[in-house]
Amino acid sequence: MKYPGRKLSIPYAVFLVLFVVLPLVIVFYYAFTDGTGHWTIANFLNFFQNTKTLGTLLYSLVIAILTTALSLCLAYPTAYILARGYVKNPRLLLIIFVTPMWINSVLRLTALKEILSALEGNIAYYPFLNTILGMTYDFLPFMILPIYNSITKIDDSMWEAALDLGATKSHVLFKVMIPLSMPGIISGVTMVFLPAMTNYVVLDLMYNSTYIMGSLIGSYFNAYDWNNGSMISSVLLLLIVFLSFGEWKETRDRLGAGGATE
């Protein structure tokens, strides 16, 4: 059987090879070679043996974890209220939450910096706190949207059945709604955690002079050290693959469990 639609995918396949696969091959090539082009893993060994780079990685993880946790604490109640219809015109409110994404992030962060300056005086005294607030403000919509979509797909009969069986509203929330909306939570965590490790623009605007992984990558490439820059990019890429695999496995297990119960 012939599939005429396959010809329509040729431009996309060419684009994918030229602008996705080929750049990744180049990144991995520089990550596993030295300045002379010889294959080596010394770049990775030096990274994990250097206390400064490990400190940067640890600092990036702390910022990413706190940003993700704060975003989740703010996003889940917001998405839950909107998805469950506790407010009028929930879609209009959702658009209001998403609208800041249409504005350049530098402008949004500059506005936030002015607000914090008015509240705190000199925001340079609170670089770490302001970085967390800036990251949360920048990435919060990416946490709200997948959780909202996940909750809207949950049948209202699940809530009603749990209440009929004697569960309290808090038990229904933690035992039914949150587990069923876990795919959206995992997707939101992935979309916030990884950018929070690399978005050094927030640090620069919030007077935080400490390096994170994105800053480190930028400094290597600015110094034309493609090998170490590509190596750190590869480490982050492997982290993305690991988190994506965990999200896929979680979704597969839940779908399998749902199919088994049916």
Residue 35 backbone dihedrals phi, psi, to 5 degrees: -65, -20
pLDDT at 140: 92
Q: Which residue has the higher pLDDT, 124 or 38?
A: 38
| Strand blocks (E) in the chain | none
Mean local confidence (pLDDT), 196-205: 87
* Domains, the chain, with CATH or none: 62-224 (1.10.3720.10)
Q: Which of 96, 78, 95 is nearest to 87 (CA)?
A: 78
Q: Is the pLDDT of residue 258 over 60?
A: no
Mean local confidence (pLDDT), 107-114: 87
Q: What is the mean pLDDT of the chain?
A: 85
pLDDT at 1: 52
Q: Give 54-81 pLDDT, tens digit per residue.
A: 899 899 999 999 999 999 999 999 999 8
- 163's enclosing H/E stretch is helix 156-164
Give yes or no for a contact between 197 and 213, defined as CB atoms under 8 angstroms apart: yes
